Amino acid sequence: SYVLTQPPSVSVAPGKTARITCGGNNIGSKSVHWYQQKPGQAPVLVIYYDSDRPSGIPERFSGSNSGNTATLTISRVEAGDEADYYCQVWDSSSDPVVFGGGTKLTVL
């Protein structure tokens, strides 16, 4: 089955840029979606199709995908961005829907 690998944690100071990676075999050939989950809340879609933002998601959130790594970038990080972030892909060869293990973003 297809595996998505995320770092367990990322820390960043307020106002700086956070980069959360999602690794997978030739993930650049797939579409990657990203979700934000704050404590006690349901996940919220923040990026789809690698880099598209749903309405209502700040422009500070952006995404890229190439080779074996997809990246969620959060610019000018705020305290309210502290959350768990999950990447997700569709893999027609195995589990159709695959989630990464999640990354806890800590704002210092």
Partner 1 sequence: QITLKESGPTLVKPTQTLTLTCTFSGFSLSTSGVGVGWIRQPPGKALEWLALIYWNDDKRYSPSLKSRLTITKDTSKNQVVLTMTNMDPVDTATYYCAHSLGDCSSTSCYNVWFDPWGQGTLVTVSS
By the rule CB under 8 A, 94 interacts with partner 1: yes
User: Cβ-count burial of 57 within 10 angstroms (0-12 exposed, 13-18 middle, 19+ buried)?
Assistant: middle
- Figure out which of the listed residues 45, 60, 64, 75 binds partner 1, where binding follows CB under 8 A: 45
Phi, psi of 63 (to 5 degrees): -140, 155
Nearest to 71 by CA among 17, 107, 108, 15: 17
- Figure out which of the listed residues 13, 19, 38, 49 binds partner 1, where binding follows CB under 8 A: 49
Q: How are beta strands 61-66 and 69-74 bridged, if at all?
A: antiparallel
Shortest Å, Cβ 15 to partner 1: 28
By the rule CB under 8 A, 88 interacts with partner 1: yes
x/- site string to partner 1, residues 13 to 42, per CB under 8 A?
-----------------xx-x-x-x----x
Handedness of CA 46, 52, 55, 58 (dihedral sign): positive
Secondary structure class of 80 (helix, strand, coil)? helix
Shortest Å, Cβ 84 to partner 1: 9
Interface with partner 1 (CB under 8 A): 1, 30-31, 33, 35, 37, 42-45, 48-49, 54, 86, 88, 90, 92, 94-102
